[in-house]
Amino acid sequence: MTETDRQRALNTAELIDETAAAAPVTSELPPEDPVQSGAPPRSQWRDIWRQFRSHRGAMIALILFVSILLFVSVGPLIWTVDPTYVDIRARNSGFTPAHPFGTDQLGRDILARLMAGGRVSIAVGLTAMLIAIFLGSLIGVLSGYFRRLDAPLMRLTELFLALPLLPLLLLMVTLFREPLSQSFGPAMGIFILIVSAIGATSWMQSARIVRGDVLGLKEREFILAAKSIGTPPTRMILRHVLPNVLSPIMVAATLGIATAIITESALSFLGLGFPPDFPTWGRLLFDAVDQMVLYPSRVILPGIFISMTVLCVNYIGDGLRDAMDPRIRGR
């Protein structure tokens, strides 16, 4: 008896009964993930983390970077010596229990100064990176998404790429140091100046990367689908485009921290950075260069901190890039 015959044989009431009844409930739902049933659910971030952990260099770098962060943030709570306290009788002391890394020519404790300096250096790196990434992704997304903005914004990017950055940074810092320190105080004024100068001159690479990715994304079906149900451009960018270009942005952000720290210390090294009583790693190195023959450790310690931080950040960026590349991640 075929299905049609069977249905014909049923009377109307029975037919209604049969079709209106709830679907037969099986005791067990089919596994959501037929291949890996039983394993914890997989998410993109967990995958990235797993891949990241397998990159040995990046893991070591992450641990080191976190310890440097702890050193500059928690360290001053444990080692409570004031980095600006001048103890002229204890000047130029070597490595003693009272001053584990010695003191400088004015008797200020080097360990405390390294902590305070690192805090400023890393704060400059992070803030400048945030500004650069914000500008870069804004310009990248706008020029990738809106065709009308593409040409002018890319011309602008090329113009910025052609600027001689280090000379311009030197110029900006020397020229606007005075007015800004008058209105925001010496330390804060220079901080704002350096951070915005570095941020405003290092967004170009990330803008280019983001634009390229957005251009590729725009051709995908899910964007078309979102567009066809009438998603307005703002939500489109925030919900659909930005999350998908997050990985190149994150890699660019990590590498951006490294460049910002190096640039800041280079400015300080040229004597155009923070004021002398406001230590940063670059400034400490610069101050110690005059006496490097007698006290080489004072030059080498801040230099090692700068290099270590930058090396760690670069390795983390490398690991992130590998972890976020879906072509490698499967392996």
Q: How far is the CB of 263 from another protein (least distance, A)?
A: 9
Q: How far is the CB of 312 from another protein (least distance, A)?
A: 8
Degrees to nearest 5, angle at CA 254 with 250 and 259: 135
If you write DSSP's letter for every residue of 47-112 in order, what string do you get? HHHHHHHT-HHHHHHHHHHHHHHHHHHTHHHHS---TT---GGGTT--S-SSSTT-B-TT--BHHH
Q: How far is the CB of 74 from another protein (least distance, A)?
A: 24
What is the C-alpha to C-alpha distance for residues 86 and 79, in angstroms, rounded to an integer?
A: 16
Of 74 and 289, which has the nearer Cβ to another protein?
Answer: 289
Of 129 and 237, which has the nearer Cβ to another protein?
Answer: 129
Q: Which residue has the tokens 């919900």?
A: 239
Of 241 and 313, which has the nearer Cβ to another protein?
Answer: 313
Are 133 and 295 a contacting pair, CB within 8 Å? no
Of 57 and 107, which has the nearer Cβ to another protein?
Answer: 57
What is the C-alpha to C-alpha distance for residues 112 and 75, in angstroms, rounded to an integer?
A: 8
Q: Give just the sign of the alpha carbon dihedral 105, 109, 112, 114.
A: positive
Q: How far is the CB of 137 from another protein (least distance, A)?
A: 24
For residue 319 the two structure tokens come to 């690991």
Are 104 and 93 a contacting pair, CB within 8 Å? no
Binding site for another protein (CB under 8 A): 57, 158-159, 161-168, 170-172, 174-176, 178-179, 258, 262, 265-266, 269-270, 272, 285, 289, 292-293, 296, 299-300, 303, 306-307, 310-311, 314-315, 318
Q: How far is the CB of 66 from another protein (least distance, A)?
A: 17
What is the C-alpha to C-alpha distance for residues 205 and 202, in angstroms, rounded to an integer?
A: 7
Of 164 and 230, which has the nearer Cβ to another protein?
Answer: 164
Q: How far is the CB of 23 from another protein (least distance, A)?
A: 52
Closest-CA residue to 247 (of 146, 322, 314, 136):
322
Q: How far is the CB of 53 from another protein (least distance, A)?
A: 19
Q: How far is the CB of 189 from another protein (least distance, A)?
A: 13
Report the DSSP beta bridge partners of residue 103: 109
What is the C-alpha to C-alpha distance for residues 55 and 104, in angstroms, rounded to an integer?
A: 40
Of 70 and 166, which has the nearer Cβ to another protein?
Answer: 166
Q: Which residues of 168-191 are buried (b: 16+ CB within 10 A; e: fewer)?
A: ebbebbeebbeebbeeeebeebbb
Of 171 and 188, which has the nearer Cβ to another protein?
Answer: 171
